[in-house]
Amino acid sequence: MIEGVPAQVVEVLGRTGMRGEASSVKVRVLDGDDRGRIIRRNVLGPIEVGDMLLLMDSSREAKALDRKR
């Protein structure tokens, strides 16, 4: 059985990583202790609003993107 916390993508913020290989997204946690909370996470691969993710840890949050460029 796969364990984790389901979350739904509510906004795609942009690309991150040394070569832009990851996307920074905001997700709404759907279950567990953090239910209803919206957090920022980094995701590898194609992603769009409405996609479902299975988070191994819903308490960790990614840092904000640096928008100085």
CATH for 15: 2.40.50.140
Q: Tell whether 44 is covered by a domain.
A: yes
* pLDDT of 69 over the 70 cut: no
Q: Tell whether 68 is covered by a domain.
A: no
- Provide the domain count of the chain: 1
Q: What is the average per-residue pLDDT within 23-31?
A: 95
Which range, of 30-39, 46-55, 59-68, averages the lowest pLDDT? Answer: 59-68
Q: Tell whether 64 is covered by a domain.
A: no
What is the tally of helices (H) and strands (E) in the chain? 0, 4
Q: Under a CB-based contact definition with an 8 Å cutoff, are residues 10 and 26 in contact?
A: yes
pLDDT band at 31 (very low <50, low <70, confident <90, very high): very high
Q: Tell whether 13 is covered by a domain.
A: yes
Q: Tell whether 46 is covered by a domain.
A: yes
Q: Tell whether 23 is covered by a domain.
A: yes
Q: Tell whether 65 is covered by a domain.
A: no
- 10: domain range? 5-55
